[in-house]
Amino acid sequence: MKIAVLVSFIAVLVVFFFVAQVPVTLTSDEVAKAVSEATAESGVPVDEEVLERAVQLSVAKLEKGQSTRLKYLASAYLVIWLVFVLYVLQLDRQQQELDRRLAQLEQESDTQ
Amino acid sequence: MKIIAIITAILIFISLYLIFGYARVEGTMLEVQKIFYYHVSAALTVFVAFGVNCVFSIKYLIQRKPNDDLLAVAAAELGIVFCTIALLSGPIWARYAWNTWWNWEPRLTSTLVLWLMYVGYFILRSALEGDRRSVYSAVLGIVAFLDVPIVYYAVDIWQGGLHPDRGTKWSLEATMRHTWMVALIALIMLFVFLLIVRYRMKKAQARYEVIQQRHLTEASS
């Protein structure tokens, strides 16, 4: 049982690690390239410098919010895992208690 | 039994992979939306669990087979576990989406009432003995199940709640819908697996009590 709990905990940790590995990874060069391509495709005359600045600010805002969102996500899955683990440990405890009582009963009937 | 355990474990791992590696990040809630997959699946598994409890409670009242009572109790216990998951993961979503941990809106309130009714089911069982315990708890199980459709249709009955419409999950983008379906199947399989485990344990416990009673009778005579 302890092994199962340990394995599931490692699985949850792996999932958290996996979650933490998906940050917004947009560099300034990538933003500049995307803005330049988008304005060229749209054919609408826009101030690329202003647009690039706006996109960079949006990306910074997204990055800042992402760590908060990941905390919410990790907390939710940790709570779900915790409820299951506590329930399984409770089942294990009950099973051990039943085994102990059965062994006691067998011992009593042997002595009689 | 081992096959069910293996299938369940594989499905859980696949669902976790799909949630974090396959499903698209939703536009409004972004990463926090990923709570949805297990939160909604747990909530739907609650309906299945309490449905099983209701069916076997009715069966027990008709046929009076002790095994039906044991199965009903095992299902109710698991229903509470899954309901606890839905009730605890929901507020984390709510804090981000609605800026509050709890709101007395129809679906949340009716789900809490459902949870409390089944907690009451176990309080009742612990207070009674023998046949009365089984009969009274079976009746309470059937009555408590009446709250399940109320929870499900709460968003339609009381307009203006914070939960989205019932059909929202079916109109999700394809990768999200597939992921949710796998998560739902995984949790239902987990419920089936734990139900069998819990039923067998309860059966062994009941058998032990019979043997112990017989043993005590023999010893006294």
Tens of pLDDT, residue by residue over B5-63, are 999 999 999 999 999 888 888 888 888 889 999 999 999 999 999 999 999 999 999 99
pLDDT of residue B82 exceeding 90: yes
Average pLDDT estimate for B126-138 = 91
Determine the pLDDT at residue B85.
95
Average pLDDT estimate for B154-180 = 79
The domain segmentation of chain A, as residue ranges, is: 2-80
pLDDT of residue B103 exceeding 70: yes
Least confident of B5-9, B179-183, B214-218: B214-218
Band of residue B87 on the pLDDT scale cut at 50, 70, 90: very high
| Cα distances (Å, whole numbers) of residue B82 to B61, B71, B116, B120, B176 | 26, 17, 13, 16, 22
At A23-69, the pLDDT tens digits run 556 677 877 888 888 888 887 777 878 888 888 888 777 777 887 88
pLDDT of residue A81 exceeding 80: yes
| Cα distances (Å, whole numbers) of residue A74 to B92, B164, B167 | 10, 23, 27
In chain A, residues with a C-beta closer than 8 Å to the C-beta of B88 are 79-80, 83
pLDDT of residue B201 exceeding 70: yes
Average pLDDT estimate for B144-148 = 93
Sign of the dihedral through C-alpha A54, A56, A57, A59: positive
Instruction: Tell me what the pLDDT averaged over chain B comes to.
Output: 90
For the purposes of burial, counting CB atoms within 10 Å of the CB of B134, is it exposed (0-12), middle (13-18) or buried (19 or more)?
Answer: buried
The partner residue sitting opposite B88, judged by closest CB among A72, A83, A94, is: A83
pTM of the model as a whole? 0.84
Determine the pLDDT at residue A16.
66
Contacting A with CB below 8 Å, chain B residues are 13, 16, 20-21, 30-32, 34-35, 38-39, 42, 81, 84-85, 88-89, 92-93, 95-96, 194, 197-198, 201, 204-205, 208, 211-212, 215, 219
pLDDT of residue A21 exceeding 60: no
Q: Pick the residue with more confidence: B194 or A20?
A: B194
The ipTM estimated for the assembled molecules is 0.88
Count CB atoms within 10 A of the CB of residue A42: 9
Average pLDDT estimate for B187-214 = 90
| Domain annotation for chain B: domains and CATH numbers | 2-21+32-220 (1.20.120)
Average pLDDT estimate for B199-219 = 85
Q: Which amino acid is it at A17? A: F
| Cα distances (Å, whole numbers) of residue A30 to A44, A51, A57 | 21, 14, 14
Least confident of A23-32, B98-107, B108-117, B126-135: A23-32
